[in-house]
Amino acid sequence: MASLPAAAPLTEEEYLTLERQALDKSEYHDGQMFAMAGGSPNHSFIQGAVFALLFRQAPPGCRAFTADLRIHLEVAKTYSYADCGIVCGDLEFSSTEKDNLLNPLLIVEVLSPSSQDYDRGKKFELYRTIASFREYVVVHQDRWCIEHYSRQDDGSWLLREYSGDGASVPIARLGIHLPLAEVYAATV
């Protein structure tokens, strides 16, 4: 994740004004905009496959979303884009523009060499400030491996790791399964 040069920290309002006019996406944290790198073919294929699985399997009252929907982490004063995810119930937005989602339940990130440390570290830490957030799926693009973090009733997070073409990631809370053979079917 590369930082765009800035003479002074941006306010959230300044960021949103710039972002709504921009051709490329940037995330926002701590007064700084961070340009999002372009994805590899595998990143794109995996992201599309996971979204298709979520879209087909989302339970009633839930909807799958793509990386076009910005997530607002209010407590952390951060704006982020996930690769895809699921929101359940009424959509909650932080602005009248309805482009800053507040209440995702499941978030999916496909790891890239440039973002993997951030996605599994600070970004996951920031996501955990979202009250509705319960499921985090981290998909490796360089090998058949998916990490599934699930928030437990006591607030702790349980990690389960799945690998190999016969594996399938069960997301019991939503009744969803992500077969690795389908997630990685189009990779090169």
Q: Which residues contact 160 (CB under 8 A, 6 or more apart)?
A: 147, 148, 150, 169
40-72+82-183 homologous superfamily: tt1808, chain A (3.90.1570.10)
List the chain domain ranges: 40-72+82-183
Tens-digit pLDDT profile for the chain (188 aa)?
444 454 589 999 999 988 888 888 888 988 888 887 767 899 999 999 999 999 999 999 999 999 999 999 999 999 999 999 999 999 999 988 899 999 999 999 999 888 899 999 999 999 999 999 999 999 999 999 999 999 999 999 999 999 998 999 999 999 999 999 999 999 97
- Residue type (1 letter), 103: N
